[in-house]
Amino acid sequence: MRILLLENNTKVVNTISTYFTNKNYNIDVVTTQKEALYYSKLRKYTLILINDKFLDTNIINNFKSNNEKANIVTIDDINLDKFLDELNNKIEDEKEKTVKIKDLIIDQESKLIRYNNIDIKLADIVFELFSFLAKNKNKKISKNEIISALYTDPQTVSASVIDVMLKQIKNDIDKKLDIKTIKVVSYNEYMFVYGSD
């Protein structure tokens, strides 16, 4: 999960960024609307936290056009600890521990893929890619969206890394289990298709 935080109060920034970093979330901190708009064009966010003094129609519309799937939440800096606990509870509730598509089970906790009583273990980052695509089943996902979702610093990751991981998935899952899970839609786009009838 990637989070964008737009806040200029140092104490609030430190509290929120430490809280989410300790939970292994990727968080980008910006202090101006201009920076926030730049980052929202550069990366895909699941959650955008914003101090209400920065709220206006223009910035909300820009966030939504660049990150249509992101939840935009205003920060309650008066009751910050309570706010963070409630927000974390919502995030945890939304997380699926297991993704099941027909007879294919993706177990988020054990990081195993099960199919007809066969367990397959992938490297962590390859598992994250497989899981990310499965959660977005039947949606075209670009390499940039994948890189933004999986890596802390997407600008340093080559798009060819995705091709290598997809080849690993094809060899370790598709060929071994004799199924098709991920379809190449175009040079830059992929779609999880297993279970689509």
The more confident residue out of 149 and 94 is 149
Q: 92 or 59: which carries more pLDDT confidence?
A: 59
> What's the whole-number mean pLDDT along residues 42-53?
86
pLDDT band of residue 94 (cuts 50, 70, 90) is low
What the chain holds in terms of domains, given with CATH numbers, is 2-94 (3.40.50.2300), 98-192 (1.10.10.10)
Q: Which residue has the higher pLDDT, 96 or 189?
A: 189
Over residues 45-53, mean pLDDT: 88
Residue 181 predicted with pLDDT over 90: yes
Residues 172/176/177/181 CA torsion (nearest 10 deg): 40
Q: What is the pTM of this model?
A: 0.64
What integer is the mean pLDDT of 59-73? 82
What mean pLDDT comes out for the span 38-54?
Answer: 87
In this structure, the strands spanning 112-115 and 104-107 are: antiparallel
123-145 pLDDT tens trace: 999 999 999 999 889 999 999 88
Res 91 pLDDT > 80: no
Tokens representing residue 72 in the block: 């935009």
Q: How far apart are CA 3 and CA 47, in angstroms?
A: 5
Percent pLDDT > 90 in the chain is 47
Distance linking the first and last C-alpha atoms of the chain: 29
What is the structure's pLDDT at 96?
67
Q: Out of 34-48, 63-77, 138-152, which region has the weakest mean confidence (pLDDT)?
A: 63-77
Q: What are the tokens at 14?
A: 């430190």
